[in-house]
A and B are shown apart, each in its own frame.
Chain A
Amino acid sequence: GAVVSQHPSRVICKSGTSVKIECRSLDFQATTMFWYRQFPKKSLMLMATSNEGSKATYEQGVEKDKFLINHASLTLSTLTVTSAHPEDSSFYICSAMEQPNEKLFFGSGTQLSVL
């Protein structure tokens, strides 16, 4: 089946640094990828929709200057958490949409801890 690779799986960083998370669709091209954030005991919260070759669409309340998304190719989207703070600590998950069946495949997630 389709595979989505997300890297790194875990990152610990100091407050004020930036962290980049990569999401790759390994055996299919994805014009659309999604980035989610999961808080403990809560649902997956959609942060933004990433479209290849165009600007990402951010959900209400998500700071686009804080969470930079780049979807430069049909197989790669990146999320950069800029000037990270402890409140940014969370589990971030990406998903890629396979066409034409519009099935979503998820990456394995990235646990971000900001000290």
Chain B
Amino acid sequence: DQQVKQNSPSLSVQEGRISILNCDYTNSMFDYFLWYKKYPAEGPTFLISISSIKDKNEDGRFTVFLNKSAKHLSLHIVPSQPGDSAVYFCAASASGNTPLVFGKGTRLSVIA
């Protein structure tokens, strides 16, 4: 059973508009969430994270929202740029030295 789900395999957005990537999780022990961006044939790079004590974290064009009651988080990118085109992975972990559990990723295409 998948503990971290990204139900949209792909998303297409026009340049300058907002991109919203969604992620749902089932494990209530998860208390730390991260988003990674991945280009083809490269390792993922860390984008932004949020701990369960917050419901929002912002870093430049990237904002992550966490809704603990719904076990849902989302990544907002605004304004979207062509260079944002990549696969975005949502990941979660429980406290301590535990490995991350990844979603399957969402491929974002930003069209100029």
A residues at B contact (CB < 8 Å): 4, 6, 32, 34, 41-44, 46, 49, 91, 93-95, 97, 102-109, 111
Contact = CB atoms under 8 A, between A and B. Distances in A.
Contacts of B11: none
A43 B46 contact: no
A107 B43 contact: yes
B41 A102 contact: no
25 contacts: A6-B43, A32-B97, A41-B9, A43-B89, A43-B103, A43-B104, A44-B44, A44-B89, A46-B99, A46-B100, A49-B99, A94-B43, A95-B43, A102-B97, A103-B46, A103-B49, A104-B34, A104-B46, A104-B100, A106-B44, A106-B46, A108-B42, A108-B43, A109-B41, A109-B43
Contacts of A43: 89, 102-105
B46 A97 contact: no
Contacts of B34: 104
B104 to A, nearest CB: 4
Contact of B42 (A41, A42, A109): A109
Interface string B68-99: 00000000000000000000010000000101
B45 interface: yes
**Interface SS of chain A:** strand
Given A43-B104, A93-B43, A93-B44, 5 more contacts: A32-B97, A41-B9, A91-B41, A106-B43, A111-B41
Contacts of B41: 91, 109, 111
Contacts of A34: 99-100
A41 to B, nearest CB: 8
Nearest to A91: B41
Interface string B56-72: 00000000000000000
Interface centre among B45, B46, B99 (most CB of A within 10 A): B99
